[in-house]
Chain A
Amino acid sequence: MIKLRHFLAEVFGVIRTLLADDSAKSTMIVGILIYSVLYPQPYVGEVLRDVPVVVIDQDNSTASRTLVREIDVTDLVDVTMSAPDMKTARDAFYRRDVYGIVVIPAGFEADILASHPAPVAAYSDGSYLLIYSNVMRAVATVAGTMGAQVNYARLTAQGIDDSTARTMLSPVTVTDISVFNPQGGYASYVIPAAFVLILQQTLLMGIGLLHAGRRPPTGRRLWATIAAYFGLYMIWVAFTQMLIPYLYSIPRTGDLVTLFLIAVPFICACIAMGFAIAMAIPWREGVVFLLVVIGMPLFFLSGISWPVEMIPDHLRTISLLVPSSSAISAFVAVDQMGASAQDVAKAIQTQIVLVVVYSALAVVLSRLPHNRR
């Protein structure tokens, strides 16, 4: 009992040291709080709506005007201007007044009435994929619906009965269901993942700031140090994985025990790696510099925004040396997709291996002359 009290006193001592160090405090505490406000800001809109598009209606008929109106009423785009020709439309496009161009050629209505195909054209910016997909979805959906109505009218006019006409036009129905992030929200997609990386980076930096170039703690002080960082970051895990989704209305389905099962080895792996880095680079600024610069590439190795299947095997294997590379998608699977511990067992194993590897490395490196002064 007394032993435990001594140990706890030591843990609080470590926390006091952390709070007394301005850089460490601003990285491991204030920084995370600022990030939790700042980082989600670009994405709070969740879904892209009302992409401004320009329409070139060269037909100017009832049918073409109906098409334009239908496109305008979709959530995806907003018809903000109409242009007489491509030159005017392109001008608005280059100025970024609009991000899509819809062209309805002359003869559109006449073609429909004559039962000829009546094509329309849609142009959008392939260099912004989210915008492009909105514009194309809007035009394709409206053209499809309108085309189906036209067809249905044609077939029934030929004396084909109602249900046969429907069957002939769409014999099979395709239903698309998005699971886990039903509205396809951008915040839901990027925020839970990004905060796992933010936890890792701030923890690695904090340990670098407090221990790089200094004599490493030993004995009870070492265990107290580990316990202090672990305790602090378990609070941050709860904060970033539970409170932040709640604050930004991001759906969350995971259960606590499973979250714990991945969070514990992940935080341990980060602490071990933090000490290994701090022992390897005896220069505080160098540690922070390195970690700030590699943060973004690490995100793209996590498989969230670019599928891991596309990353060459060698690079993927090397990337697993960083806890976030396997942990980010495991956290997302647990929290957003309701994965069980079994589903993320591989990621948990990887984290445990990293704990062992980096602990051993840290111990070896701590025997280097510059760490024994």
Chain B
Amino acid sequence: MLVPLPLILFLVLAVIFAPGLPRDLPVAVVDLDGSTMSRQIVRMADAAADVEVVEQLASLSEARQALVAQRAYAILMIPSGMEHDLLLGQNPEVVVFSNSQFLTAGGIVGRSLSTTVSTFSAGVSLRLLEAQGIGTDRAMDLITPIPVQASPLFNPSLDYIQFLLSAIMPTVMQIFICATAVLSFSREHHSPNGMPRLQRIAGSPTRAVLGKLLPYTFVGTFVLLLGDVVLFRFFGASFRGNIFVFFLNGFMFILACQAMGALIALIAKDTTGALGMMGLIVAPSFGFAGVSFPRFGMTLFSQIWGAIIPLTPYLQLRTDQTLRGAPLEYSLSTMAWLFAQLVVFSSLLWLMTRKTMAQTPVVKENITTDPQESKT
């Protein structure tokens, strides 16, 4: 279950996001004009890569029905008399209704349809200007006096593989790693005399912690790397960073997750309780990490909560090292942040391990060395 499960999940996620960009999303058209021009707009809309006109409907109420039943993500509504009004210079209005409850799909088709209509409008504008005796080149200049050259840095095609898949894989991994750490620690902690037995075998809290967690560290790092190989090799996601730094970040991330998971296992009363607590803390962490909705737009509570969870600095480091190719100096503070989490979680874990190991008389000679700390 250890290696195959996250790999299966990675595979499923990879298949979901494999297209990278949504294409040919269904939209419906209400063409009340039925003129040459309105048909031209519809053809132009359909020709755009991200939109496919799947239905021509007779009325707005039918269109609304198509939106609600999720047969279309947007409606292009061309009013009757559009061509007529246009020729008379009466500025007809074309309306795009997009379903913003499905934020991604609705946004994409909404933007695509209004771009289509604007392009059509610009074409008409061009002809009108030419008719005024303004030359084609001059007319082109006139249509967009202040062109905006929009450049997405780092993710030129605005690809969802780089944006979402690359962030979701580590999120799934975080849950998985925490859960395995919980299970491996709970087995001792929640069975009678488990911790003393661990003490006998391992000798010291440090060795106990390492002995319990290290095997999973290797498994976790291996699986995370395998996911990244798929991402960077198979999907050709861009990698502009330093492989060594990238690997180090991944390794720190896995360790921090393990320490957090094991800590939860020692705090909780029983194994299922620990898994439940872990789920509560870790499962919503994708939202708090600020990939979808950025952290600077969140409340202070959410910013603090996000700052405690290893995923947050790790995803920032990933962006720095993969897409942004930021020079190392910019990543140092985030790496220090992740490292601080690791230190805090490990120290707490060490203290808790010590404390729980010392709870039975078998290990009395150990606690006499530092009775103060074992009480805390």
Contacts and interface: CB of A to CB of B under 8 A. Distances in A.
Contacts, number: 350
Nearest to A133: B107
A181 B98 CA distance: 10
B288 interface: yes
A125 B100 contact: no
Given A127-B323, A172-B86, A315-B16, A146 B125 contact: no
A181 B9 CA distance: 31
A26 B98 CA distance: 40
Contacts of A23: 270, 272-273, 276
Interface stretch (A36-44, A261-269, A351-359): A36-44
A178 B132 contact: no
Interface stretch (B149-157, B209-217, B342-350, B357-365): B149-157
A154 B110 contact: no
Interface in A120-178: 120-133, 136, 139-140, 143-144, 146-147, 150-151, 154-155, 160, 163-164, 166-178
A181 B327 CA distance: 40
A296 B92 CA distance: 46
A38 B284 contact: yes
A180 B99 CA distance: 6
Contacts of A189: 100-103
A373 interface: no
A342 to B, nearest CB: 8
Contacts of B65: 343
Interface in B315-362: 316, 319-320, 323-324, 326-327, 330
A117 interface: yes
A288 interface: yes
Interface string B211-237: 000000000000000000000000000
B168 A296 contact: yes
Contacts of A127: 154-155, 162-163, 319, 323-324
B308 interface: no
A309 B26 CA distance: 8
B287 interface: yes
B192 interface: no
Contacts of A169: 125, 143
Given A146-B146, A177-B95, A186-B293, A26 B273 contact: yes
Interface residues of A, number: 116
Given A209-B272, A294-B9, A337-B101, A125 B154 contact: yes
B91 A151 contact: no
A130 B293 contact: yes
Interface in A170-197: 170-182, 184, 186, 188-190
Contacts of A184: 100, 103, 107
A174 B91 CA distance: 10
B185 interface: no
A339 B69 contact: yes
A49 interface: yes
Contacts of B93: 172-175
For the residues of A in contact with B, the DSSP-based class is helix
Contact of A43 (B6, B18, B129, B293): B293
B148 A180 contact: no
A22 B155 contact: no
A333 B67 CA distance: 9
Contact of B101 (A171, A181, A296, A297): A181
A338 interface: yes
Interface stretch (A6-14, A233-241, A270-278, A298-306): A298-306
B172 A309 contact: no
Contacts of B114: 174, 176
B160 interface: yes
B201 interface: no
A343 B66 CA distance: 9
Contacts of A294: 9
A286 B129 CA distance: 71
B141 interface: yes
B273 A307 contact: no
Interface stretch (A27-35, A53-61, A219-227, A362-370): A27-35
Contact of A329 (B70, B91, B121, B148): B70
Interface stretch (B242-250, B252-260, B298-306, B366-374): B298-306
A139 B12 CA distance: 38
Given A39-B287, A186-B103, A333-B68, A172 B117 contact: yes
A235 to B, nearest CB: 20
A101 to B, nearest CB: 8
Contacts of B18: 312
Given A115-B142, A171-B86, A288-B275, 18 more contacts: A22-B273, A38-B280, A48-B293, A115-B141, A117-B146, A122-B150, A124-B152, A126-B154, A126-B163, A150-B145, A168-B129, A168-B132, A172-B92, A172-B121, A180-B100, A337-B101, A338-B68, A344-B69
Closest 4 CB pairs of A and B: A126-B152, A126-B155, A178-B100, A23-B272
26 contacts: A42-B293, A67-B146, A115-B145, A118-B146, A126-B154, A126-B323, A129-B163, A146-B146, A151-B145, A166-B91, A173-B92, A174-B114, A178-B99, A209-B272, A284-B271, A285-B183, A288-B275, A292-B175, A292-B282, A296-B171, A296-B172, A307-B105, A309-B24, A312-B18, A337-B99, A343-B69
Interface of A: 22-23, 26-27, 31, 34-35, 38-39, 41-45, 48-49, 51-52, 67, 93-96, 99, 112, 115-133, 136, 139-140, 143-144, 146-147, 150-151, 154-155, 160, 163-164, 166-182, 184, 186, 188-190, 205, 209, 284-286, 288-290, 292-297, 300-301, 303-307, 309-312, 315, 329, 332-333, 336-340, 343-344
